[in-house]
Structure formats: structure tokens, C-alpha cells
Amino acid sequence: MADGPSPTPARTYTATEPPAVDAVAVETRRPARSTGDRRRLLLLLSFLMLFVELALIRWTAANVLHLAYLTNFVLLASFLGIGLGFLRAAAARELLPLAPVALAVLVAFVLAFPVEVARLTGDDQLVGLFGLPAIPQVVVLPVIFLLTVAVMAAIGDGVARAFREFLPLDAYRLDVLGSIAGIAAFSALSFLQLPPVAWGLVAAGGFALLLGRRMGRWQRLALAGLVVLLGAQSLVPMLHWSPYYKVTARTPPDRQGSMDVKVNNIPHQTMHPVARLRELAPFYFYPYQHLGGTAPGEVLIVGAGTGNDVAVALSQRAGHVDAVEIDPILYRLGRDHHPDRPYQDRRVRARIHDGRAFLQQTRKRYDLILFALPDSLTLVSGQSSLRLENYLFTVEAMRAARAHLAPGGTFAMYNYYEPSLLDRYAGTLAAVYGQPPCVETGEVLGARRQAVLTIGDAGGVRDCVYRWRPRPVEPATDDHPFPYLEGRHIPGFYLVCLGLILAASLVTVRLAAGRLRRMAGYLDLWFMGAAFLLLETKNVVQFALLFGTTWFVNATVFAGILLSVLAAVELARRVRLPSPLGLYGALLLALLAAWAVPQASLLALPPPARFAAATVIAFTPIFLANLVFAQRFRQVGSSTVAFAANLLGAMVGGVLEYLALLNGYRFLLVLVAALYGLAFLSGRAHLAAARPRLLGTSR
């Protein structure tokens, strides 16, 4: 279900409009505010809502192992909470003052009951605070889900109340601007690699400004506790916060020059001097035994980490090494503390980049290309099942690597593989090179075995003892980039979690917001919300393929989505739009064009042309979809209920995203088109009412 600094989608924004009397009624209930004050209030609330959501997705996954691959879990809780907040915006009691307390309780719970891996084999692998047994998954996940719902519902209630004081497109515009600011702020903190206390200070400052004189003793205690708790965690000297991970490393290394590194509470890698690697991990040297005794001139290492692989390449007399590592903290730890100082060698050029993107952008050819333990422990974003390295192991990626081999060059990859994964990767190499690779296995680690796969540019391998024997395992592809999934299916654990989330959502909405019948008139908006979330997901994964799975690419995509939404709103406020049928037709054509253009054709383009083509293909449907939203929402009778229906639809879209595990990400465009078709059919009565008065300027 995804991490990273911009690990959540831009929310499924849609313009909403209350009837004119709604705004008047609000003015009679609240102290009079100037227009400027009301605008600033909505901007700040929208900023805080998206900022807190991003921070929760990133931070909870860093501390609770169960969320490392389930950050969509927190995203869905956020959508549910915000939807609840909008549904009850007309209630007498305001929930925003409860948000700091709920947030502090959530932070305290996660810090008191973390889940981490103590050992990779044997009993009691998972532990909690101070090495005590970890609390069960069936306890920790529901508590985090409900507390996240509570936090986001309280903030969403404040946003909804401010939203109602504006005409629809004006409110929508301010909401989007505040959200863009939230993404920009969180991205800036990620760029600066600041610890969670910085995120807590921003959130606490936002709540203090919003509550002002209404902030009582409990709110002050909660905000102070929030900052103190996150500050205490941030001051732990062995913790480092990269844009992707919480990295745990005790520095300096021990007397033997070794250092263990954990990421997101999971053992990730161990730094050793080359002399110890020969004894403890000889597999590092296996690829060089197939070079015929010659030293490699040009070497590419993807997944260079703290520098073990680079140090080994230098010890084998490599002429030059391009060391690609996506995480800057892992690189910095190796640069500053590796006993062999490989990153200081003049023959080494370090690149903080995504491995697949580097292969697509470089023109160099290499005598040896190594995929060196590139196994991440985080997802690309909060709305995809794509891990950072998934696009590195597709059949298309292996072809790209082969294209960068010099004549007589060698490709090798190594890691600890489960049997089915070893067969998949070996089969992928056999399909690309026309011959099965050489396989050398080592120690067993639980259900996995250490293995090295080696193949020459023409399919031959010198001095090979054992060639892989083909077994029918489907390779991963750029459209279905799930190498860790055995076959095309949705794992049972996901199905159970998603089913429980949907059931809990129905009960929660019914208990907190009354009868679901209130949203019956906005079924088309519900379909639009589900469709738009899937459209966002498709764009995130497509840009990850085209430009890399880095946090910067993700942040850029989400900002681009919001800017496309803003452009649609500005156009809807100023010009007369075509008929609803015309807009739906244009949207369908844009989706058809996006489906028809093969991803491989974009990868073949030079970077500037690739960016231009990807932007047009990805953001045209988003722009048109928001014109449809604006036209429909202009007529709604209750802006907050309509927006809630749309958000809850987006939550269901987050569940439907898992159908990509069955049919690939391209199939999501078919779902998007079907959902917009259902929106058109279910909203025909509203569309008919809209024809006499097409959108013009904002009232």
C-alpha cells in the first residue's frame, strides 16, 4: 500500500459550492472576519492538512515495521478522516481544537510501541521498545488507523468550516494554493534532511496560529509534548533522517572497521573493510572471477550504499567506478566512515541518483555492471505499491543494462533471494541475453539464500561451474513491475487489510456523520474521486519510470498535479466552458491517448522531449477532469457533503489501485475511463440542469 518525502498523493481536489444562504448562515454564527483574514485562515488550514498527512505517512512507516510496505494504510485513514471532517462541518461543536491532542497521542503511541526487526532468523524476530516483545500487528495497525482518522477528521473539520465561507471556486483555489505550499514545505525539509522535530515544529506552529486565544491547557500541553517527543527522538545520535529512511548507524565503526546499518527499523547493510569481506562475504568477489584475470576498466555499481562494493572494485584494480546510490545518508556514512575510504579515491565518481534513471541518461559503456544488493525498504509514495528499486528489475531494465555493456563486458547482480525470486531474475537474464546466467550460491538466511547471477554481453560466462536451469517464472515488466510478487494476484494479507478498512469506514461514517443517504445525490462525485485517485497513481508510477523513483520526482509530480488543478479552476472562473458532454468526451479522448502511447516510446526520447511528452500525456486528463469537477460542483446544494463524497470515493480509488497487481498499471487507465463513465451516467440529471447556465465567471 508507499514512503518518501512526498509520499502521498495530491488529494483528489474538486471544486465545491454551497448555496448562497449557506455562506450567509456561517457569517451569522461566527465573529465577523475580513475577507483577507478568511483567506489566510483557509490557506493555513489547507497547508496544515496536507503537511500533517505527508508527515504521518513518512514518520509512522519509519517507526513501525508493519507500515514499511503499507503506507497506503495511513493514506486511506487520512482520506477517511478528512471526509468525516467535511461531513460534520455543520455540527455545532468544532473539532479542530482536538487535533493537537489526537496528534500528540498518536506520536506517543508510535514511540512507545515501535516495531523493529531484532534478527533475521529464529524466534522473536520482532521487538518493541527496549527490546521488549512487539505488540501484535492486529493491535498496532487498528490503533494507528483510528488515531490517524481522528487527527485528520479534526483538521478536516476546520478546513470544511472555513471552506463554507467562500464561493466554491474561490474556496477551491485557496485550498489548492495552501496544499501546494504544504508539499513545498515538506519537500524543503526533506531536501535539508531535517529530523522529525522540524516537522513537529511546523505542525505545532500551524496549530498555534490557527487556535490563537482558543488554545487551552490541553492544547498547550499536547503541542509541547509533541515537540518534546519528536525532539527527543531527533537528538538520538545514531539516527539520521534521509529523504527515504530513518537510518540507524552507530558511528564511528567498531575496532574492526565494521558498522551495522538499519533503515526503518530493519537491518539493511553492514560496512566492512575489504579484508573482512573476503572472509565474511566472499560473494562480493565472485563477478571478478569471470573476467578472465583482466582488471575492469569501467565499472558501474548500482546500489553502492556505504561503499563495500566500491572498495572491492578498487581492490580488483578497476580503472574507474561510477557509484550510483539513491540515498544521500547511506552514501555519506560510507564516505565519512568506511575504513578503506573508497569514495575518496580519485577513480570513483559518486552519483546520488536512481539506478534505472542513470542507465537511461548515461551514454557510457562499461566493462562490468553490478546491481549490488539494491533492495530498498520503502515505497515510492503513499499511493503506489512500487518500491524504489522495482523498475530496476524489469526485463526492459535488464535490456538497458545490456545496451551499456562494452564489447566483452559482464553483468552481475547479487543479493539474498527467495527461490522464486532467484528463478525470476535468472529467467529475466536468460530472456535478455539468450543464454542462462551463471549461478553461484552461498549462505542461507531464513527463507533466502545468497546468490550471484553473472552473464556476459554475448551470453557467455568464463569459468562458470553451474548455469541456471530454466523454470517458468514470468519476468517483471515496466507495466507490471512487481518482481517480489509470485504470479499475478493480490496477496491475502492485502485483501484482508483492505476489506477491514472498507468495513470500518462504512461503520465510522455512519456513526460519526449520520445516514449515508446524505451523499446519495453525489454519487457521480464519488465515482470522480475514485477515478482521480487512480489517475494520480498512474502518473506517479509513470514519472518514476521515466525520470527515476527519487523523492524529487515524486514531489514534482504532486506539485504538477496541483498546478494542473489550479489552472483548471482559474479557467473555470473566467471563461464559459463547453457543454458537460463535450468535456467528458474530451476527457475520454485524453485517456485513450494516454493508454495508446507505449511507455517504451517515451523512454527512447531525449530527456527534454521525454519530459514534454510525459507532461502533456499525464496532465491533460487531470486538467480536463477538474474542468468536469468545477462544472458539476457549481450546482451542489451542500459543498461539504459533496466534497466528503468525493474524498470517500478517492479512498475507494486507493483500494482499487491494487488491481494493478493483477493487470499492470496501464490497466488503471481503463478503470479510470470506466469510473468517469459511471460518473457521467449517475450525474446525468445534474448535467441536464447545468445546460441552461453553463459556467461563466465566478459569482
Per-residue pLDDT tens over the stretch 300-321: 999 999 999 999 999 999 999 9
- 102 half-sphere exposure, CB direction, 13 A CA radius: 22
Inter-helix orientation angle 196-211/99-112, to 10°:
160
Quick check: 508 pLDDT over 90? no
Task: Say if CB 325 and CB 358 are below 8 A apart.
Answer: no
Cα angle value 614/6/139 (rounded, 5°): 130
- 533-567 per-position pLDDT tens digit: 999 989 888 888 888 888 888 888 888 898 999 99
Report the SS3 class of residue 105. Answer: helix
Pairing of the two strands 320-325 and 116-117:
unpaired
Question: Which residues make Cβ contacts (< 8 Å) with residue 589, sequence separation at least 6?
Answer: none
- Residue length, the chain? 699
In the numeric block, which cell numbers belong to residue 490? Answer: 493480490
> pLDDT category, 6, cuts 50, 70, 90?
very low
Report the SS3 class of residue 135. Answer: coil
Q: Determine the Cα–Cα distance for residues 621 and 319; give it in Å rounded to an integer.
A: 49
> pLDDT category, 40, cuts 50, 70, 90?
very high
In the numeric block, which cell numbers belong to residue 87? Answer: 461531513
Could you tell me the maximum CA-CA distance found in the chain, to the nearest angstrom?
A: 86
**Counts for the chain of helices (H) and strands (E), in that order:** 24, 13
Chain Cα centroid distance, residue 202: 21
572 vs 324: which has the higher pLDDT: 324
Q: Name the segment(s) of the chain with CATH classification 1.20.1250.
A: 20-238+486-693
> pLDDT category, 513, cuts 50, 70, 90?
low
**Cβ atoms within 10 A of the Cβ of 603, count?**
16
> pLDDT category, 17, cuts 50, 70, 90?
very low
Nearest 5°: phi and psi at 351?
-125, 120
Q: Determine the Cα–Cα distance for residues 643 and 83; give it in Å rounded to an integer.
A: 8
Which secondary structure element, helix H or strand E, spans residue 352, and what is its range? Answer: strand 348-352
Task: Say if CB 408 and CB 456 are below 8 A apart.
Answer: yes
Nearest 5°: phi and psi at 267?
-55, 130
pLDDT for the residue 91 = 85
**What percentage of residues in the chain have a pLDDT greater than 70?**
91
> pLDDT category, 21, cuts 50, 70, 90?
very low
Task: Say if CB 78 and CB 154 are below 8 A apart.
Answer: no
User: Across all residues in the chain, what is the average pLDDT?
Assistant: 87
**What percentage of residues in the chain have a pLDDT greater than 90?**
61
Report the SS3 class of residue 278. Answer: helix
> pLDDT category, 384, cuts 50, 70, 90?
low
pLDDT for the residue 92 = 82
- 399-458 per-position pLDDT tens digit: 999 999 999 999 999 999 988 899 999 999 999 999 999 999 988 887 888 999 999 999
Which secondary structure element, helix H or strand E, spans residue 410, and what is its range? Answer: strand 405-417
pLDDT for the residue 551 = 80
pLDDT for the residue 123 = 66
In the numeric block, which cell numbers belong to residue 467? Answer: 548455469
Cα angle value 432/434/438 (rounded, 5°): 90
Task: Say if CB 57 and CB 197 are below 8 A apart.
Answer: no
> pLDDT category, 34, cuts 50, 70, 90?
confident
Check whether the bond before 252 is cis (ω within 30° of 0).
yes
pLDDT for the residue 385 = 63
- 73-86 per-position pLDDT tens digit: 899 999 999 999 99
Looking at the DSSP bridge assignments, the partners of residue 555 are: none
Inter-helix orientation angle 35-63/137-163, to 10°:
170
pLDDT for the residue 19 = 37
DSSP, res 379: B
- 557 half-sphere exposure, CB direction, 13 A CA radius: 32
Looking at the DSSP bridge assignments, the partners of residue 371 are: 302, 413
Residue type, 243: P
Looking at the DSSP bridge assignments, the partners of residue 261 are: 249, 269
- 644-687 per-position pLDDT tens digit: 888 899 999 999 999 999 999 999 999 999 999 999 999 887 76
Quick check: 94 pLDDT over 70? yes
E-assigned strand segments in 526-614: none
> pLDDT category, 3, cuts 50, 70, 90?
very low
pLDDT for the residue 379 = 54
> Mean pLDDT lowest for which of 5-9, 210-214, 238-242?
5-9
Task: Say if CB 662 and CB 510 are below 8 A apart.
Answer: no
Quick check: 575 pLDDT over 90? no
> pLDDT category, 377, cuts 50, 70, 90?
low
pLDDT for the residue 485 = 87
DSSP string, 288-338: GGGSTTPPPSEEEEES-TTSHHHHHHHHTT-SEEEEEES-HHHHHHHHHH-
Q: Determine the Cα–Cα distance for residues 16 and 401; give it in Å rounded to an integer.
A: 49
Q: Name the segment(s) of the chain with CATH classification 3.40.50.150.
A: 267-375+395-456
Residue indicated by cell numbers 498512474: 538
Q: Determine the Cα–Cα distance for residues 74 and 8; give it in Å rounded to an integer.
A: 9
Arithmetic mean of pLDDT, 216-225: 96
Q: Determine the Cα–Cα distance for residues 285 and 420; give it in Å rounded to an integer.
A: 24
Task: Of 158, 152, 173, give the one whose Cα is nearest residue 14.
Answer: 173
In the numeric block, which cell numbers belong to residue 126? Answer: 520482532
H helix runs in 491-522, sequence order = 492-513
Measuring CA to CA, how many Å separate 404 from each of 360, 398, 461, 466, 582? 10, 10, 17, 25, 47
Task: Of 280, 272, 279, give the one whose Cα is nearest residue 310.
Answer: 272
H helix runs in 338-418, sequence order = 355-361, 395-403
Pairing of the two strands 405-417 and 448-456:
antiparallel
Task: Of 97, 169, 112, give the one whose Cα is nearest residue 627.
Answer: 169
DSSP string, 229-262: HHHHHHT-TTEEE-SS-EEEE-SS--TTS-EEEE
Query: Which of the listed CATH numbers 1.10.3470, 1.10.10, 1.20.1250, 1.10.260 matches domain 20-238+486-693?
Result: 1.20.1250
Check whether the bond before 237 is cis (ω within 30° of 0).
no
Task: Say if CB 367 and CB 406 are below 8 A apart.
Answer: yes
Query: Which of the listed CATH numbers 3.40.50.300, 3.90.470.20, 1.10.3470.10, 3.40.50.150 matches domain 267-375+395-456?
Result: 3.40.50.150
pLDDT for the residue 221 = 97
Quick check: 238 pLDDT over 90? yes
Q: Determine the Cα–Cα distance for residues 69 and 72; give it in Å rounded to an integer.
A: 8
pLDDT for the residue 511 = 81
Quick check: 267 pLDDT over 80? yes
Arithmetic mean of pLDDT, 476-500: 89
pLDDT for the residue 493 = 84
Q: Determine the Cα–Cα distance for residues 512 and 508; give it in Å rounded to an integer.
A: 6
Arithmetic mean of pLDDT, 354-381: 86
Task: Of 242, 199, 195, give the one whose Cα is nearest residue 551.
Answer: 242
Residue indicated by cell numbers 489550479: 566
Q: Determine the Cα–Cα distance for residues 619 and 106; give it in Å rounded to an integer.
A: 36
HEC per residue, 164-183: CCCCHHHHHHHHHHHHHHHH
Sign of the dihedral through C-alpha 549, 550, 554, 559 = negative
What's the Rg (C-alpha) of the chain?
Answer: 26
In the numeric block, which cell numbers belong to residue 694? Answer: 453553463
Chain Cα centroid distance, residue 281: 33
pLDDT for the residue 405 = 97
Chain Cα centroid distance, residue 247: 18
